[in-house]
Amino acid sequence: PKTDIVFLKVHKSASSTVMNILFRFGEMHNLTFAFPQGGGFQLYYPHHFLARFVQGFSPHSPRRFNILCHHMRFLQPEVQKVVPGSAVYFSILRNPVQLMESSFVYYKGASAFSRVRSLEQFLSQPELYYDPSRGDRHYARNLITFDFGFNPDGDASPERVQLMLKAIEASFDFVLISEYFDESMVLLKEMLCWDLDSVVSFPLNSRDSRTRSTLPASAVERLKAWNRLDWEIYTHFNRTFWARIHRDIGGERLRREVAVLRARQAELARTCLQGSGSVGPKDIQDSSLRPLQHGGARILGYNLKQGLAGELERTCRRLVTPELQYSSLLYKKQFPPQPP
């Protein structure tokens, strides 16, 4: 199994669920994480990543960390200073239409969104509300492009797009697609030589469907034009994702493995969870399992069954522990507080 991993956590793309998978694997195999300084939750995002943002990094020491997975703005020469040269690099993308709809609800306080009632209103005249000099501009334009380290206001000429795609392909071993999450997990398992239980998950940091909205076709076209760079990245890596699946796994085996994965997840849901799955924030009984609520989104969580024993309780709890709580837990384990 591969144990040295860089995961670029692209916003609003099922990346919190992938992060939970990496947290669980790292914890089980006693791996080290490249945590933000002081136990924070982002690596000084939205600044480009620097090695000195990592707790315990020293330019004078050869120490390397196994897993780098917290939010960052990618800058490979700096990333290479904190992980082994053999590290596998991957990310996950989401259709920019749904990504921006989610970003609008989640980051409603961002400067570009704060003066509009709806995403449709913003898309009708984005230049009116969007200020490229603002530090939070990336939430409103080409968020994928920004997270990969490029300029979200850059020129979208075919030549520039090709350069950007080639740069991503040179840095990343593979890119997953969140709309095909189970298929992505089968590919992840294959690429990292992991077992099935390492890639099972329950969706984390997901929104109540009542806060989702569907855009009319005209607004969708405007959104694609406004987020042209993101659209180019997404469509390209959607193609390479399926090419990789067909080359390395094949359609027949993919269907079999997806079915096995879903059956295992359903079995774990029956074993671990009260009721039929996720619940609203007010209905989460254990406050330590309540995810952070942000913007206009209602972030769902889970209730565990009562009376789960020892190792099973631990397995179930890890599957539903929200990102911030899990990150804090692992940070304290890796950097135990010094006694006074």
The structural domains of the chain, with segments of one domain joined by +, span: 5-334
Predicted confidence (pLDDT) per residue in 283-321, tens digit:
999 999 999 887 777 889 999 999 999 999 999 999 999
Distance CA 227, CA 225 (A): 5
CATH 3.40.50 fits 5-334, yes or no: yes
Which residue is it, tokens 């740069």?
A: 167
Which residue is it, tokens 């989104």?
A: 297
Identify the pLDDT of residue 6: 98
Strand partners, 273: 304
Percent of the chain predicted with pLDDT > 70: 99
Encoded amino acid at 88, one letter: V
Identify the pLDDT of residue 276: 77
Per residue, what are the HEC states of 72-96? CECCHHHHCCCCCCCCEEEEEECCH
Predicted confidence (pLDDT) per residue in 213-268, tens digit:
789 999 999 999 999 999 999 999 999 999 999 999 999 999 999 999 999 999 99
Closest CA to 229 of 156, 126, 175: 156
Band (pLDDT 50/70/90 cuts) for residue 212 is confident
Identify the pLDDT of residue 214: 87
For residue 6, the SS3 value is strand
Identify the pLDDT of residue 211: 65
- Mean pLDDT for the chain overall: 95
CB 54 within 8 A of CB 42: no
Mark 178-201 as b/e (b = at least 16 C-beta within 10 Å).
bebbbbbbbbbbbbbebeeebbbb
More confident residue, 114 or 210: 114
Find the distance separating the first CA and the last CA of the chain, reported in whole Å. 40
What is the mean predicted confidence (pLDDT) over 105-118?
Answer: 94
Lowest mean pLDDT among 65-74, 187-196, 279-288: 279-288
